[in-house]
Structure 1
Amino acid sequence: MRIDSHHHVWTVARGDYGWLTPDLVPLYRDFGLADLMPHLAAAGIEGTILVQAAATEAETAFMLDIAERAEIVCGVVGWIDFDAADAVARIDAIAARELVVGLRPMVQDIADDDWLLRPALAEQCDAMAQHRLVFDALTLPRHLPRLVQVVDRNPGLQFVLDHFSKPHLATGEIAEWKKDIASLAARPNIVCKLSGLVTEAAPDWQVGDLRDAVDHVIAQFGPQRMLWGSDWPVVNLAGGYAKWFAASETLLAGLGKDEKEAIYGGNAARIYLSSRGRHPSCR
């Protein structure tokens, strides 16, 4: 079963997408599952993981309302206020929702680069591990040394690194990123999403511009610890769903059939669904 492990939906009028401004012309409109379905059909994708795009619990409720009416959505990665005094109680509450498979603090947008090292996060990570929720890490390259520490401190919690941590592909300055990725990949409780790369590349990107980073992650994490995601509709800023899917096919062409099946769905089913007692065939 093929699973798109990372996409969004949004309704602009909801008003809590602080990053979504009118100057982002390809994105500044409503995007729903009906817009996504033709892309999924073309790529042979049978299930998805819907991921938060706003740092509000209201948006998580909005996503769950959509997901509960759509068989294509296998799981939801939501958001809770990790800085709230009752954050653990909020984790307990959201974990009771059947379709919630993970949580994603938007680390890339947090002003304090050391946010990941807050003592309070330990108890929150324990709660997530207890409920078998995945910690989706939306980080930038500078956060990776801190993320390594958090992953080490929480061996019972499953982490997913979104978008390769957004390496600086447009400038080609990825040497330090490579070192940090190698360090992170040595930890068994983290996997990496093959997603969000084209929006980090130059506007006229070619497949070759992504090759070095992708080959490095394949070498470090291995195909059994990688998940494919579209990052739709954000991918519309850099060519769209079909172009990114075709590029992924080229980048993974050297892998075996079983390895590609793992990246395109098997690993997502194992990481997000099986751990929560969900059947990989969704509903």
Structure 2
Amino acid sequence: MLIDAHHHLWRIARNDYGWLTPDTGFLYRDYEPSDVKPILDAHGIERAVVIQAAPTLAETDFLLSLSEKHPYLGAVVGWVDFADRDTPEQLDRLSRHPRFRGVRPMIQDIPEDDWMLRTQLNETFVALTERDLSFDALIQPRHLRSLIELVGRHPSLRIVINHCGKPEVRDWQAGDANFNAWQAGMTELARHPNVFCKLSALPTRSAPNWTTATFAAYVDVLMTAFGEARLMWASDWPILERNGRYADWFRVARQLVPESAHASVFGGTAQTFYRIV
């Protein structure tokens, strides 16, 4: 089973996205299952994971309602307020839905780099662990140190790093100080068997006209660190289209990942991690 482990759907009129404004250009319109399903079908992709794009419980319920109507939506990753005392009860409510699998706070938009280490958030991380729900870590390189500490505090929490940790591909060269720091952080995180990683968003972190060679060093790092059993490919559609096309990113990723690992990276890992049927 081929799986796209990360894509988004939204309706502008719901009016809780915040970051979606007319300035975002082509992204400022509705993206519905009917828009992405033909793309998935063209690549033989049977299931996809839809990820939150708004910091509200209402959007999580909206995505869950879409999954009831569209079987290709194999898992939903939503949002909860990590600081709210009622969050464990909200997780119980959401978990009653058969497609709910975990949550993603929008860490990259939070000014405080150490936000995830706040004491008042610990109860939510414990609640996720107790309910066997996943934590999608939307981080940038500046958060690597904090995420390493968080993993040490919660060694049983199922974590998946979004978008390769968002390395600055457009500005970095393999072997320079920033690349080496990112490699060291990702390698340290991969030492923990509960930490997975999504092979996604490299195109949007890159300069235009990227090629297979643009991403080779990054994929080598991730394959070496996480291995095929903890690395999962994802499109990050429609945001991907800011700097690339679905077909091109899918093709390049399959060229970079060893063929012997395709079954895992392009399906098996996501199927196991998100318990997709």
Same fold (TM over 0.5): yes
1:85 is matched with 85
2:209 is matched with 204
2:240 is matched with 235
TM-score by length of 2: 0.95
Note the 1:1-283 alignment, pairs <5 A: 1-172=1-172, 173-252=178-257, 254-256=258-260, 259-273=261-275, 280=276, 282=277
1:277 is matched with none
**Which one-letter code corresponds to 1:178 in the other structure?**
Q
1:276 is matched with none
SS in 2 for 1:149: helix
CA distance in 1 between partners of 2:120 and 2:92 (Å):
16
Q: Is the 8 A contact 1:26 1:236 kept in 2?
A: no
**Which one-letter code corresponds to 1:148 in the other structure?**
I
CA distance in 2 between partners of 1:115 and 1:29 (Å):
31
Q: Shift of the alpha carbon at 1:71?
A: 0.8
CA distance in 2 between partners of 1:178 and 1:26 (Å):
33
Higher mean C-alpha displacement, 43-52 vs 172-181:
172-181
Give percent identity, aligned residues only.
42
SS in 1 for 2:22: coil
After TM superposition, the runs of 4+ consecutive aligned structure 1 residues lying more than 4 A away are: none
Q: Shift of the alpha carbon at 1:247?
A: 1.2
SS in 1 for 2:27: coil
**Which one-letter code corresponds to 2:185 in the other structure?**
D
CA distance in 1 between partners of 2:212 and 2:66 (Å):
34
Q: Is the 8 A contact 1:140 1:167 kept in 2?
A: yes
**Consecutive unaligned residues in structure 1, runs of 5 or more:** 274-279
**Which one-letter code corresponds to 1:40 in the other structure?**
L
SS in 1 for 2:50: strand
Q: Is the 8 A contact 1:235 1:241 kept in 2?
A: yes
Q: Shift of the alpha carbon at 1:123?
A: 1.6
CA distance in 2 between partners of 1:88 and 1:20 (Å):
29
Higher mean C-alpha displacement, 220-229 vs 22-31:
22-31
2:175 is matched with none
CA distance in 2 between partners of 1:203 and 1:29 (Å):
23
CA distance in 1 between partners of 2:21 and 2:212 (Å):
29
SS in 1 for 2:197: strand
**Which one-letter code corresponds to 1:208 in the other structure?**
A
SS in 1 for 2:160: strand
Q: Is the 8 A contact 1:211 1:251 kept in 2?
A: yes
Aligned residues: 272
Q: Shift of the alpha carbon at 1:60?
A: 0.6
CA distance in 2 between partners of 1:153 and 1:260 (Å):
33
**Consecutive unaligned residues in structure 2, runs of 5 or more:** 173-177
Q: Is the 8 A contact 2:203 2:243 kept in 1?
A: yes
CA distance in 2 between partners of 1:49 and 1:264 (Å):
13
CA distance in 1 between partners of 2:254 and 2:40 (Å):
15
Q: Is the 8 A contact 1:91 1:124 kept in 2?
A: no
SS in 2 for 1:65: helix
SS in 1 for 2:26: coil
Q: Shift of the alpha carbon at 1:264?
A: 0.8
Q: Is the 8 A contact 2:77 2:101 kept in 1?
A: yes
Q: Shift of the alpha carbon at 1:23?
A: 2.2
TM-score by length of 1: 0.93
CA distance in 2 between partners of 1:130 and 1:83 (Å):
17
CA distance in 2 between partners of 1:22 and 1:242 (Å):
26
CA distance in 1 between partners of 2:21 and 2:246 (Å):
21
Q: Is the 8 A contact 2:83 2:124 kept in 1?
A: no
